[in-house]
Structure formats: structure tokens, C-alpha cells
Structure 1
Amino acid sequence: MDKIAVVILNWNGVKLLEQFLPSVLQYSEEATIYVADNASTDTSVNFVRENFPSIKIIQNTGNYGFAKGYNEALQSVDAEIYALINSDIEVTENWLKPIIETFDKEKETAIIQPKILDFKNKEYFEYAGAAGGFIDKYGFPFCRGRIFDTIEKDNGQYNDNCKLFWASGACFFIRKEVYHTLGGFDEIFFAHQEEIDLCWRAANEGHTIKYNSKSVVYHVGGATLQQGNPKKTYLNFRNSLLMLVKNLPKKGLFFVIFFRMILDGVAGIRFLTQGKFGHTFAILKAHFSFYCLSLKYLSKRKDFQIQQYYTVKSIVFLYYIKKLGVFKEIFNSNQNIKN
């Protein structure tokens, strides 16, 4: 069994592979590298075979999205640690070493995220993960270094190793045993929020999620679905509600979901006033899909859920009403984050 496997999920991303595989190959000597292809119709598979013969190729039989794509591919990967990275990630020298050291020293740590900076503006954190993720009481995710659309410059303010609630799927390290014991990603999610759901399920089982600033990667972001894409809005809103049904503590379950749906309605009205009709429709569609799936997801609930899953009651209130957009402003010098 390998110590660590770097697994890159790809769908019609030959240009991204051409641009970013060289850094992965150069700086990942500790790992076996895989490209897991979701039935691409471009020249991705042939490109990897011809130009990177040392990289192993896993060919899925369909475009299964992020969740099922990884679930299918990882059945063929035998390693103690999975490093799941997007095809638009540039890695840096020694990016794997601090991750491996943390897993070796901290047996309770099951999932780790590195520092994720913006490939296009390398002094700033990147939207999808930044310096590690948390959620509020109603399931809205946010990060150290990124609150909604406010993104911080990296001034070393998050050069630490702290506990998180969720780690970004853009660059996601997890122990093989934990991944398979938890059943992998929820395949109905297809893409978006599936890593938060997996981390929440891991936390419910007593596992620890960590951030390690000594490992640094650069992420392009939005290479598959742009931030303003209504499909992305649909998946984010639907999957967030499904995640809440599965993982919320029993006490207050229906109140939290009901209030979250009200907040979703406010978001829909806001999109409407901005003329973003596709996003308003996407939220309506997300709620309809949620209604259809809610009973099935109630049956997925486990016997135990952690009670203190959230770090603030409402990040929406703090950001839009109190106008707080920097993580340390909200948390008063990290008083609520425990190392």
C-alpha cells in the first residue's frame, strides 16, 4: 500500500492538465499520482498517456461529477492517505511533507486542508477554501480569509495549524480508512457542499479536521462552473438543505431548516431585484428538489450528531447587517477557534 496517492479528477480538462500536471509531478515525489477521468470527450486521456507515462489513469464510465466521480475512482486506489485535488491546482515545493507529518503525529486527525491561495492573484486567498472552513447555525459556509465575496490578502494572519469544521474539496486530504468507513461523498450532491457534508459526518464520528498553513497550493477556481452560474446556485442551495437534514442535532432540527428556507427566500428576492432571474429560479428549483428528497434524507440520519457544529449564529447577519467582512473582526482575534 502506498503512503499517499494524489488523485486528480478530470472532465474535458486537457488544457488544465497541460498547465498544472507539471507542478504536481515535480513536487509530489512522495506520492503515486492518478488522473481519474469522468468519461471526457476531449483528448485528456491520450494527453496524459503520451506526456506523463508515470501517471496512472482511472477511467470512469460516465461524467459522475465530483462526488460519485471520486467514489468510483478511489475504489482503484490503494494508499493510506488520499490527496484529492482539482485539475486547476498548482502545488508548491514540499506541499505534501507537512501533511504527512501531521497525519503521522496526530492519529485523531482524519482530514486536512492546506493554505489555498488564488492562482490569478497569488497574494490573496482563494474563494473555495482559503484558510479553512466553518458554518453558521443555518448551514451557511464561510472561511478564514473569505466571508461571502470578501477575500483577504494573505499577510500571514493564518499561518497556523488549527481545527476546522470543513476542508475544501479543491485540495482535500483524508485517510483512506475514514473515507470508506463514512461511505465517501454523497453521490446525490453531484458537486458542491459534498466535502462539507463529509466533514460534518466525520465530526459526528469523533474525527478531527485540521488546517496546515505549511502546505501551500494555488487554485484557479471556477474552472468547471463559474461563480455566477445558476446551476452552481441550484446545487449549493439544494445540497446545503440536504446536508442540514442529515447532520443537524435533533433538537431544533425543523426550526433551523425552516429559518434557513426563509433566508433562501430572501436571497431569491435579492437576486430578483438585481435582475438575476436565473438564480431566483435556481433557488426555487433547489427547494422543490429538496422537498422531493427530504424524507429519504431524514432516513439517512445517524444516531449521534454533535451539538456545537456552528461557530456563529448567523454569518448572514454579521456580514450584511453588521458589515463585518474579515474573519478576525468577527471572531475577535480567534477567541472561538481552538488549536
Structure 2
Amino acid sequence: MIPGQISIIIVSYNSAALLPACFASLAMTNDDNYQLIVVDNASSDGSAELVRQQYPHVQLIANQHNQGFGAACNQGMAAATGEYFLLFNPDVQITPNWLTLLRQHLATNPQAAIICPTTLYPNQALPTRQGVAITAAVPGCAMLLRRSAWQAIGGFDPAIFLYWEDTELCWRAWLLGWQVLEDFEALVVHERGGSGGGQRWLVESSKNGLYCYLKLRPWSAVLGYSLRMLAKTAIVSLRQRNLAMLNIWLWHGRNLKQTLATRRAIQAQITADRSEVEGLIKQHLARGKQERRASQKSKVKSQKAETE
């Protein structure tokens, strides 16, 4: 381990068009004490070859098969030399002092395992708040993780191929006695939507959401979420005449024994005030719902303006 160093880990999947701008953006940071690692998940667009040939200073891990986002991050963290791990999406653009601020704020909050900058849409107004605040979870697009926390709580759950892996890690960190912070001064711009979408997104996200509830939430929350997922399965299956949503329940039927064993193991390690963590999770979920509604209204308004 190199004290103070940040290992920036980028998971690439058919990201050849994004990587040059990503590396150029990272070069703008005013903090140069970092290591760059790219974990390529068997891209078919030449992403690995691009890194190998044009960016020899970047450490490349080229997978022969797509391992999923979380497992690829785990590979990068296992190979990293830094005291901190920065998990970074290739479609994120940085601001010059973001890394310095993240490092400073994590250093002054020793109980925090994870901190994330404020992620803005292009042309979005800057936040008015300053400093940092605790939150139940942060997105994995630019997540800074303390090595000692990674060693204590483990990395991403390899059972989650894509979607919810960042939320699961944050919830688990809270339950095991750590904190998660959002940073209102460190800023990045995230285009979003660089990977995933469609029917695959819906099935994978719904499956993993139920998995996280089964693994980490109280049984009352599990019951409520399960009923909502059953209703969603029925509605989507009937409206779209597509039975793909049934795969959610088939997967959980096959893996329920292992999921419950994992739940019991985590329950035995919990050191946090469970009610406090649940309060943070409920606040975060409510905030996310409000933000999605606001985003949807903004899209509708924008579409109406374009047609007028």
C-alpha cells in the first residue's frame, strides 16, 4: 500500500469511445497522487487494445468474460496499491479540485467508509450546500472507498452482476458500523445512461433490489418490497406480454438458501443502531423517489417545449 495514494479504478465495457475523454478529464485534476487501473469486461470494441497501446501508464486488467460491474471493481481493488479506492465510470467528467476535496473530507471523518462527490447532469446548477452529510447510499459512478473499510466489510457482492451493487455496499457499511458521506463541494458531471437499459435493466434491477432487501433489511421491509415486486411482475407481464420478469422469482427460488445464510452471517456482525440505519434508508429512498418524479416532469416539460 502507498500511503495517501488514490487508486482510480475504471470498469470498461465497450467504452472505447468514452475512454480518451475520460483520461483527458482525469489529467485535469490538481491532485496527482493517484494510480489508474482499467478493468475491461471482455469488450468487443477494442477498449482493452486502446488502453494497452495508447495509455501505457494505465494498469490494464483484461477479462476474457464479462464479470459484471461489482466483480470487476473487486478485481481492480485487489490489484490496487493505494490507501483509497476511487471507483470511476468512464462517462464521468471531473472538476479540478474534486479529488483533493474527497481525500480531505474522508480524512477528517475517520468513521466514514465511503464518500461520493455531488454528481451533476450537464448544465445543472451547482449545489448551494457546503461540506458533507451522512446518507444511506451514494452512486458508484465516482465512489471513494477507504482501503481499511474495504478490508473490514469486503468489496461488492459478486452475486450482483449489475445495478444495486453500490447501494448494497453502502447499506452493509452502515450496518457494520461505518458511515457513508455525500460531498457537496467535490463535483463531477455524469452523463448517465452509459450502460444498460430496457428489459434487461428492469429485470436485473428488480432482482437485485429484492436480493438487497432479503440480505439487509428488516422482514417488514422485505415483505412490503416483495409485494410491490409481485405487483410489478404481474403488471409488466400482462402489459408487455413478456414473461421475463418471472426470472426474478426463479432466480430467488434457486438462491434463497444461500441468500438467507448470507443474511444470518451479516446479522451476527451488525454493530450499528438498526433503527438509525433504517431511518437513513427510508429518507434516502423517499428522496430518490422525489428526484425521479422531478426528473420525469422535467423531461415531459422539455418534450412539450420541443413540439411547440
TM-score, scaled to structure 2: 0.83
Change (3 A) 1:81 1:286: same
Q: Which residue of 194, 197, 219 maps to 2:190?
A: 219
SS of residue in 1 equivalent to 2:83:
strand
Residues 278-298 of structure 1: per-residue CA shift (max 9 Å, x gap): 4xx343221221222122111
Q: Residue 5 of structure 1 corresponds to which residue in structure 2? A: 7
Q: Residue 307 of structure 1 corresponds to which residue in structure 2? A: 275
- Matched residues, number: 283
**Does the alignment pair 1:105 with 2:76?**
no
Residues 106-133 of structure 1: per-residue CA shift (max 9 Å, x gap): 1111100111012xx321xxxxxxxxxx
Match for 1:62: what amino acid? H
- For the 8 Å contact 1:165–1:200, the answer to whether it is kept is yes
CA drift of 1:256 comes to 2.8
Percentage of pairs with the same residue: 22
CA drift of 1:248 comes to 2.0
Residues 24-51 of structure 1: per-residue CA shift (max 9 Å, x gap): 1232523111111122232212212333
Change (3 A) 1:209 1:319: closer
Q: Residue 287 of structure 1 corresponds to which residue in structure 2? A: 249
Change (3 A) 1:62 1:324: closer
Q: Which runs of 5+ in 1 are unaligned?
A: 124-153, 328-339
Change (3 A) 1:295 1:310: farther
Match for 2:52: what amino acid? R
SS of residue in 2 equivalent to 1:188:
coil
CA drift of 1:269 comes to 4.5
Q: Which runs of 5+ in 2 are unaligned?
A: 296-308
Q: In structure 1, what is the Cα distance between the partners aligned to 2:186 and 2:118?
A: 6
Q: Which residue of 153, 171, 176 maps to 2:142?
A: 171
SS of residue in 1 equivalent to 2:87:
strand
Q: Higher helix share goes to which structure?
A: 2
Q: In structure 2, what is the Cα distance between the partners aligned to 1:276 and 1:159?
A: 45
Q: In structure 2, what is the Cα distance between the partners aligned to 1:189 and 1:44?
A: 23
CA drift of 1:244 comes to 1.4
RMSD of aligned alpha carbons: 2.7
Moved more, 198-207 or 41-50: 41-50
Moved more, 88-97 or 16-25: 16-25
CA drift of 1:199 comes to 0.9
Change (3 A) 1:269 1:259: same
CA drift of 1:84 comes to 0.2
TM-score, scaled to structure 1: 0.76
- For the 8 Å contact 2:237–2:245, the answer to whether it is kept is no
Change (3 A) 1:266 1:195: same
**Does the alignment pair 1:122 with 2:123?**
yes
Q: In structure 2, what is the Cα distance between the partners aligned to 1:157 and 1:277?
A: 46
Q: Where in structure 2 are the equivalents of 1:1-339 lying within 5 Å? A: 1-2=1-2, 3-27=5-29, 29-118=32-121, 121-123=122-124, 154=125, 156-226=127-197, 229-249=198-218, 253=219, 255-271=220-236, 275-278=239-242, 281-301=243-263, 302=266, 303-305=268-270, 306-308=274-276, 309-311=278-280, 312=282, 325=293
Change (3 A) 1:57 1:222: same
CA drift of 1:23 comes to 0.4
- For the 8 Å contact 1:166–1:209, the answer to whether it is kept is yes
- For the 8 Å contact 2:155–2:169, the answer to whether it is kept is yes
Match for 2:7: what amino acid? A
Q: Residue 136 of structure 1 corresponds to which residue in structure 2? A: none
Match for 1:290: what amino acid? H
Residues 128-175 of structure 1: per-residue CA shift (max 9 Å, x gap): xxxxxxxxxxxxxxxxxxxxxxxxxx4635544110101111111101
Q: In structure 1, what is the Cα distance between the partners aligned to 2:8 and 2:292?
A: 37
Match for 1:307: what amino acid? S
- For the 8 Å contact 1:60–1:73, the answer to whether it is kept is no
Q: In structure 1, what is the Cα distance between the partners aligned to 2:283 and 2:186?
A: 31
- For the 8 Å contact 2:135–2:284, the answer to whether it is kept is no
